[in-house]
Amino acid sequence: MTYNNEYIAAQFSLLSRLMDIHNENSFRSKTYSNAAFVIDKLPVELTDMSLAEITVIKGIGDTVAKKIAEIQASGTLEALQKLANKTPSGIFEMMQIKGLGPKKIATIWKEMEIESLGELLYACHENRLQMYKGFGEKTQQQVIESIEFYFKNQGSYLYAEVESLVDLLQQMFTENFPHNKFSTTGSFRRQDIVITSLEWVTDLSETVLHAFLEERGFRRLNDNSFVHNNQVNISFHFTTSEEFGSKLFTTTGCNEFVKSFESKYGKIMPTENESLIFQKASLPFIHPCRREYSNLDILIGVKELIAPINIKGIIHCHSKWSDGSHSLRQMAESAKSQGFEYLVISDHSQSAFYANGLKPDRIRAQHAEIDELNKELAPFFIFKSIECDILNDGSLDYSDDILSSFDCIIASVHSHLKMTEEKAMTRLLGAIQNKHTTILGHATGRLLLSRQGYPVDHKVLIDACAAHQVAIEINAHPRRLDIDWKWIPYCLEKNVLLSINPDAHHIDGFQDIKYGVLAAQKGGLTSKQNLSSFSLSQFTAFIEQQKIKRNG
Ligand SMILES: [Zn+2]
Ligand SMILES: [Zn+2]
């Protein structure tokens, strides 16, 4: 095997960058990055030169020449392998992000304790980067754009990321083929939180559609699948107008759902209109997002799924007091003007130093501001809350008397996320058992497509919330959607309140509520069992009722 100059230069460049990231001898690392530069520009291949010839090249020298020989013999460098073994894969991904040099990556990894691109993206959205030396608003924005680009090339997308493309394509189809039917189906129609492929059912002819798409620059992947500009894959199910409804039915539901439906109500007969299938079985229409289960009884039982319009208050958001982008006044005025009845402001607690968490004196100052704003904005109301860190031992981040000064405590884990299930459960149960805890925030800490979240025993967690009257958040950020919707039925069974919360760090973040609602619909949530659907007077009564527990 011979290695060309380009390959050898890349090895030196990688070695140099890894050394910088690991904060190793900077003189050496500079030598290697220079070598990479020189080798890349050499007019002759190194393989055609003797060691003596290589050594005298300007910018190479003895040490580098020996390393070149090592690469030529083994394909790599021992020093490089050693560093690579100590480097998480997410750090290698960061090295591909424009705007992130080794120094910045070192800060992100060692100081911010971020090891994956997804975590990094989320930290950008929380304005966390700007708090570190060398990171301005511009860098943060550039990092966001490059990471989003990187993710787009990975094949999996958040629901929120493909939504506008779906609208665009649907519009394109209906405008160009007004006499044909087009409907999304499959995982998008089921409102899956992560999407790998968009699917349509259509009665347009295959040849016509293929020609139409190819004309518009769609690349054909296989028989009925296409891709445009390296975005998400798109596939089509072709049918006739007479069988459109039945095709839509069989391609929308999961296999388990369709099978169990057919075994109970007989084989799906061709029909133009999907709702006729339900009518024929004397069933109410089952919302596409619910067609995940084989147990049809659960599906039929739920009458009215929650809708975005049922959200009455903004619970869980951050202002400039901690890591949000807007002042408390701006957040409140915006919520009020959008028709919400109240805002539960929950900035970060004191241990979240990276997020400018609130020390007791700043809590008092914030509460004074809230009191003033409440006079002015009535009947709109701002509740005093905090997103309180669950510390390593499961305790909350303030003393009892400070905790008592809040109307509502959202307890969340933000630090030491790498832990065993045992450790995670000790911390979470500690927080749930604390009489001050009102809501458990983002229960598993997951970031979709980028961070798994710590392991938890969901049933034990939900049982504890039931026992201690703690509500469980459905964090509505499209990258979180945590607790997962699959656990909603068990929460409902245990009579645990859920709460669809935007965790907004920006006024625009209020809109994320929609994604929380879409996910909650999949789990069969109704507005009665959702805390953020409580009206102002209901929410006030809820807070009063919690006081009995807190004073006890
Ligand atoms: Zn949080
Ligand atoms: Zn938060």
**Ligand in nearest proximity to the CA of 316:** 2
Task: Summarize pLDDT for 1-14 with one digit per residue, the tens.
Answer: 678 898 899 999 99
User: Cα(445) to centroid of ligand 2, in Å?
Assistant: 11
Q: Which token pair is 92?
A: 């290698």
3-state helix, strand, coil in the chain (%, to 5): 50, 15, 35
Q: Which ligand is nearest to the CA of 347?
A: 2
pLDDT at 109 exceeding the cut of 70: yes
Look at residue 115 and tell me whether its pLDDT is greater than 70. Answer: yes
Distance 245 CA to ligand 2 centre (A): 43
| Whether pLDDT at 120 is above 90 | yes
For residue 303, is pLDDT > 80?
Answer: no
CB neighbourhood size of 220 (10 A): 12
Query: How far apart are alpha carbons 239 and 181 in whole angstroms?
Result: 10
- Separation CA 380–CA 408 (nearest Å): 17
> Which ligand lies nearest the alpha carbon of 324?
2
527: Cβ contacts below 8 Å, ≥ 6 apart: 304, 306, 307, 310, 533
Intra-chain end-to-end CA distance of the chain, in Å: 75
Instruction: Say how many Å lie between the CA of residue 346 and the centre of ligand 1.
Output: 10
User: Residue 237's pLDDT band (boundaries 50, 70, 90)?
Assistant: very high
Confidence check: pLDDT of 153 > 70? no
Q: What is the pLDDT of residue 331?
A: 98
Residues 6+ apart with CB under 8 A from 391: 351, 397, 415, 427
Identity at 508, one-letter amino acid code: D
pLDDT at 155: 84
Q: How far is the CA of 237 from the centre of ligand 2 (A)?
A: 41
pLDDT tens digits for 429-476?
999 999 999 999 999 999 998 778 899 999 999 999 999 999 999 999
Region 319-347 average pLDDT: 97
This prediction has a pTM of 0.82
Across residues 354-371, what is the average pLDDT? 96
